[in-house]
Structure 1
Amino acid sequence: MSQNQKPSESEERLAALYSNATAVRAIASAVEGTIGPKGLDTMLVDARGNVIITNDGVTILNKMEVVHPAARMLINVASAQQAEIGDGTTTATLMAAALLAEGVAQVERGVPVTRVIEGIQTGVAHALERLELRSRSLESLGDDVLFHVAMVAGREHADIARLVTEAARLIGYDKLREETYRLSEHVIAREGAGSEVFQGVILNKQRMSPQMPERVENAQILIVDDALEPEEVEGEALGTEAGFLLYRQYKEEFRRNLERLVVLGVNTVFTDRGVSPVAEEVLGEAGVMIVQRVASKDLRKIAEHTGARPVKRTGLGKSPEEMQRVLGTAEAVYEEERAGNIRILGGRGTQFATILVGASTEEVVGERLRIARDAASSVQAAVMGGVVPGGGAVELWIARDVEKLRETVRGMTGFGVEAVARALRKPMTQIVQNAGFNPLEKVEAASVAQVERQSDALAIDCDDGAVIDVMERGIYDPAPVKLHALRAAGEVTVAIMRIQTVIRMREDADQDE
């Protein structure tokens, strides 16, 4: 359109859609090169020169400097995928961008936006139903499937896949199927440490003082979800005689409570915040190990593993009988000096397996931690919901199911269904492209082979471009990862396509509500 030519009414009406689609496409392009076995890394650099080199989609998206609201919506989809499943963020992003692009293409052909939206919702619902039917349970495939799932999600790091698989087997399928349990939360990384699976809890902490015992057997554990300090007196009150007397009373009572803990046999204390010099002196002289400033999530792990019940500092004055009920126990608590961490072994509560991943440098530690957490999340998702063929194979199979549905849908809604079918080809297309092959040729070859052999497990070998059975090669994806990614992609696409106008709010608009 020339400078003197006015935009048409249709172009003005769809300006927001085109702008949003362009922004989404730009975001997707930042991560599409990372997918598949031949995917490459991205270097993120901030204004201070700090560098992150990663292949992890959600890390790339969350670290990007993004201001466009539609782009932020797409990043939120990836974040939601990470929070809910723990893996598949790149897949969710690519699917959303592809679905939106196909939807916009239909609008450009003259299909009303509302009809495209209806078709996308219909197509996605059908695809989800068909995808769920393609899931295979682990029981029908054998134990080695977990290792293969960890290998794919762990970007073919065999050492990490072995660690994650070993931890999963130590914990057991029943624990992995609990909604509130997250195996990925039990992965830690440390520079210079050796990689291992420890059947207990590991904290990236050290004891408060080298004079405290390095190892405690038959640990009686107190968890203080607070500072281990006397109760405070407000600053102004402290300046009065009554306030000063109250302050002395709190200190004396605090010391007595500490001495009672020693009599009770408490020999290990974990605190959420700092520890006063009085507590360090009294407990230290009694041979108690103190570990301070432990993160809340780690305190919860300790509590669950040892059977302890966290208390506030005001709870230290409980009766001996009440205090006995809040203490946890473990066979041993000790500091691994070489690794620089605290280990808790043989708690009376829930059994844990902690995955410790080591690496040579700080940058590598961060990336190996992300890889191991992705692998752990995928393994748990596979245990909970089964697996499907990887490499984009199952999406290509489902795309033909959606194409068949399109033939039965009357009116312009069918064009939205068609957009879903086209978008489902995106994962394999991008994987093949990243491997250096012509995606049009290779994806079509895989599609023809699937029809001829009636198999949803056929995809492209990224080394030589041949059609292969990905399940025979051990290439699996957790079904919940695929289901959540497709569902989220459909939801954000519909949300963006519903936006007709973008209006900038006043800075104080939220205060007027």
Structure 2
Amino acid sequence: MQRGLPMQPTVVLLKEGTDTSQGKAQLLSNISACLAISETVASTLGPRGMDKLIVSERGEAQITNDGATILKLLDIVHPAARTLVDIARAQDAEVGDGTTTVVLLAAQFLKEVRGYIEEGVSPHIIMKGFRQAAQLAIDHIKSVQITVDKSDPVLFRSLLMKCASTSMSSKLIHSEKPFFSNMVVDAVQSLDQDDLNESLIGVKKIPGGGMQDSLLIHGVAFKKTFTYAGAEQQPKSFRDPLIVSLNVELELKAEKDNAEVRVEAVSDYQAIVDAEWEIIYRKLDAIEKTGAKIVLSKLPIGDLATQWFADRDIFCAGRVPADDLQRVVQAVGGSVQSTCSDIRREHLGTCGSYEERQIGGERYNIFTECPKAKTCTLLLRGGAEQFIEEVERSLHDAIMVVKRAVKNGDVVAGGGAIEMDLSSRIRKHALSIPGKLQLVMIAFAKALEIIPRQICDNAGLDSTDILNKLRMKHANGEKWFGVDVDGPEGIRNNLDAFVWEPSLVKLNAISSATEAACLILSVDETVRGPQSEAQNAGPKAPPGTAQRALREEAGECQGGDRGRACNYEV
């Protein structure tokens, strides 16, 4: 240092203990983490996809092959890999199906350009090429999608059945596709066709019986609520009853617990007790005068009220879940009342038939023949509880797919057909572009082939041979040829075979996967703040835990499941 010059002070930007990693190595680490995530869910794709058994810390087991559910159950700690979890959830919320597809596509886009990143190609050029290719793909899907005429109800129902069946082909319930497809289409068509609010389709899980014992109730069904002894004396079925829905507590304790009174004489105390009884009897008389034969309430109905209603041949149910009560009101009409006074006829609902029925080991209150029925209830049966939960997830996917098909009516062929067609088109277009963008768009086109390739691999077919056949068909203009996991050829025209999917599933998957890939490519530095003092003051971790956690989060442990220890010596 030259004599006479003052020393430059050290500038501290980040708090001590902050971990930073940046540059090309960080980008490649993020890509590796995303590939590890995709490998976890890849085997669940297609009609021969395998299921995952995921056990939580509390020992609860879930069996599923839904991509969004798997990623939600896994405790993924790598910050970049969590982007794939987000796009899977977004796909599930927006269209309901294609969650595994969107994760595989995003990871494959990154895998195909990893070599270019290593060679020093700017991520911005890759992102530009991806966005151009994605726009080409979206425009092409919109140009080739088939719009089904909704004016013919028989033809349109046939379309919805095929879309539901295709959605279920990779699920546990694929052996019962015709039965459940019919049930799903009936459920969606029972909703208000303007808003198609799928939350008005109730799902109840009843262990026992077989899948074929599942029922679709055109109306509302809910499990018999907690009742007192007098409930057994109440009638168990009605024809054309009036129904009152309340948000009122019909118990003595409501008045007892909500007041404090000081008295000087026993007679004063007796007057207070009499007043409490008077209040509840006044409520019960007011309800009886409405003419209602069924009384439902969100809040408890006590033993006094239960017996009082039983003596007058009125059925009552307290503590009805809020969503069930909302669906009852939607089906039978009327509105939920928060007081027992001034209840008029327009506040009451009615239904053609009410009965309490034994289903499996449970008793259910069932309202059918409802005049305003814009709701329905699926009663699912099956052996194991985990199996019924997976049936529910599968039906949710199918319901969302049918809902999108009803709203749009545009379909494309599934089974990898549309991906192969897009790959062929983008590859041809790329050859007309000079420079690095050509390489990026060809990489995008090649990445799209991961869908038919993975379907083949999961079915035990020779993916190289089948993809070569498909490339030849698509080069000759046979745009609807895709994978056939059952036939001897391995390929077929999936449009003619009725393997149909709403085009919205594919449009959303390609745009979401492209955006996720571009987002990960745009990150070149990760800054991790130091642990807070509160965390440091906690119980001491076993030796090596901190180093192992850092390696997990840096992408060196790529299993995605923090529950499994990595094979590092620390």
TM-score range, shorter chain: 0.7 to 0.9
Q: Does 1:305 align with 2:302?
A: no
Tell me the secondary structure at the aligned position of residue 369 of structure 2: strand
CA distance in 1, matches of 2:100, 2:521: 21
Match of 1:3 in 2: none
TM superposition shift of 1:115: 1.6
Change in 2 beyond 3 A, CA 1:110/1:149 = same
- Match in the other structure for 1:8: none
Distance in structure 2 (CA, Å) of the matches to 1:38 and 1:401: 28
Indicate if the aligned counterparts of 1:196 and 1:357 stay in contact, CA closer than 8 A. Answer: yes
The number of residues matched between the two structures is 490
Contact (CA 8 Å) 1:305, 1:352: kept in 2 or not? yes
Do the aligned partners of residues 508 and 222 (structure 1) sit closer, same or farther apart at CA in structure 2, a change above 3 Å counting?
A: farther
For the 8 Å contact 2:88–2:103, the answer to whether it is kept is: yes
1:387 aligns with 2:401: no
Q: Does 1:55 align with 2:72?
A: no
Deviation at 1:98, TM superposition (A): 1.6
The answer on 1:182 being equivalent to 2:198 is: yes
* Aligned match of 1:5: none
After alignment, is 44-53 or 422-431 more displaced? 44-53
Measured in 2, the distance between the counterparts of 1:15 and 1:212 equals 73
Hey, what does 1:91 align to over in structure 2? 101
Name the SS for the 1:216 alignment partner. strand
Q: Which residue pairs with 1:494 in the alignment?
A: 518
Classify the secondary structure of the residue corresponding to 1:388: strand
Q: Return the offset for 1:88.
A: 1.6
Does residue 364 of structure 1 match 2:380?
Answer: no
- The alpha carbon displacement at 1:206 in A equals 4.7
**1:414 Cα deviation from its structure 2 partner:** 4.2
Q: 2:47 aligns with which of 20, 25, 37?
A: 37
SS of match in other structure, 1:35: coil
Within the candidate set 334, 342, 352, 1:331 is matched to 352
Identity %: 25
Residue in 2 aligned with 1:162?
179
Tell me the SS of whatever aligns to 1:337. Answer: strand
Q: CA deviation at 1:171?
A: 5.7
Q: In the alignment, does 2:291 pair up with 1:272? A: no
Q: Which amino acid aligns with 1:429?
A: R
> 2:396 aligns to what?
373
Render the CA deviation track for 1:74-110: whole Å, top value 9, x for unaligned: 1122122222222221112212222232343432232
Flag the 1:254–1:27 CA change in 2: closer, same or farther, 3 A.
farther
Q: 1:489 to 1:278 in 2, by over 3 A?
A: farther
- How far apart are residue 167 of structure 1 and its match? 5.1
Q: Tell me whether 28-37 or 293-302 shows the greater mean CA deviation.
A: 293-302
- From 197, 207, 211, the equivalent of 1:191 is 207
Cα distance in 1, alignment partners of residues 385 and 45 from structure 2:
24
User: Is the partner of 2:359 in helix, strand or coil?
Assistant: coil
Contact 2:417 2:481 in 1 (8 A): yes
Residue aligning to 2:548: none
Distance across 2 between alignment mates of 1:268 and 1:495: 56
Give the equivalent residue in structure 1 for 2:15.
Answer: none
Secondary structure of 1:320's partner?
A: coil
Q: Which residue of 1 aligns with 2:266?
A: none
C-alpha distance in 2 between matches for 1:103 and 1:484: 22
Judged with a 3 Å threshold, the aligned counterparts in structure 2 of structure 1 residues 231 and 147 are, in CA distance, closer, same or farther, namely same
Deviation, structure 1 residue 180: 4.3
Checking the alignment, whether the CA contact within 8 Å between 2:164 and 2:185 is kept in structure 1 is no
Q: State the partner residue of 1:146.
A: 160
Counterpart position of 2:504: 480
Partner of 2:219: 200
**1:403-432 deviations in whole A, cap 9, x for unaligned?**
233345555444443343222211111101
- Contact 1:116–1:415 (Cα < 8 Å) also in 2: no
Give 1:389-428 correspondences, 5 Å limit: 389-409=413-433, 411-428=435-452
Structure 1 residues 93 and 218, CA gap change in structure 2 (3 angstroms): same
Q: Deviations over 1:190-232 (max 9, x none)?
A: 2225223322222244573433322132222222356555796
Aligned to 1:222: 244
Kept after mapping to 1: 8 A contact 2:165/2:181? no
CA distance in 2, matches of 1:405, 1:234: 79
Distance 2:280 2:32 in 1: 63
**Partner secondary structure for residue 457 of structure 2:** helix
In 2, the alpha carbon distance for the partners of 1:170 and 1:101 equals 41
Give, in whole Å, the separation in 2 of the partners of 1:18 and 1:305.
Answer: 55
Tell me the C-alpha RMSD between the 2 structures: 3.2
Equivalences for residues 93-132 of structure 1 within 5 A: 93-132=103-142
**3-state SS of the aligned residue for 1:341?**
strand
C-alpha separation between the residues in 1 aligned to 2:188 and 2:395? 16
Distance 1:377 1:109, change over 3 A: same
C-alpha distance in 2 between matches for 1:226 and 1:65: 42
CA contact (8 A) 2:22 2:526 kept: no
Residue 83 (structure 2) pairs with residue 73 (structure 1): yes
Distance of aligned partners of 1:163 and 1:12 in 2 relative to their CA distance in 1, 3 Å threshold: closer
SS in 1 for 2:81: helix
Following TM superposition, by how much is the alpha carbon of 1:391 offset from its aligned partner in structure 2, in angstroms? 0.5
- Contact preservation (8 Å) 2:208, 2:382: yes
Among 239, 248, 260, the residue aligned to 2:286: 260
2:318: which partner in 1? 292
Q: Is the 8 A contact 1:432 1:438 kept in 2?
A: yes
Aligned residue for 2:80, secondary structure, equals: helix
SS at match of 2:351: strand
* Structure with higher helix content: 1
Residues 106, 419 of structure 1: 8 Å contact kept: no
Task: Give, in whole Å, the separation in 1 of the partners of 2:149 and 2:272.
Answer: 65
CA contact (8 A) 1:202 1:341 kept: yes
* Distance (whole Å) between structure 2 residues aligned to residue 56 and residue 365 of structure 1: 14
Q: Distance in 1 between matches of 2:342 and 2:146?
A: 55
Partner of 1:14: 24
For the 8 Å contact 2:287–2:340, the answer to whether it is kept is no
Question: Shift in Å at residue 479 of structure 1?
Answer: 1.6
Matched to 1:291, the amino acid is: A
Residue 429 (structure 1) aligns with: 453
d(CA) in 2 for partners of 1:353, 1:122: 44
* Range with bigger deviation, 163-172 or 18-27: 163-172
Distance 1:96 1:477 in 2: 20
Structure 2 gaps of 5+ residues are 1-20, 264-268, 534-570
Find the aligned partners of 1:327 and 1:506 in 2 and give their Cα distance.
61
One-letter code aligned to 2:323: K
CA displacement at 1:360 relative to structure 2: 2.4
Name the structure 2 match of 1:348: 371
Give the Å deviation of 1:176. 6.8
> Counterpart of 1:304 in structure 2: which amino acid?
Q
Q: Distance in 2 between matches of 1:76 and 1:248?
A: 60
Computing the radius of gyration from Cα coordinates, the structure with the larger value is 2
> Whole-Å Cα distance in 2 between the matches of residues 400 and 456 of structure 1?
9
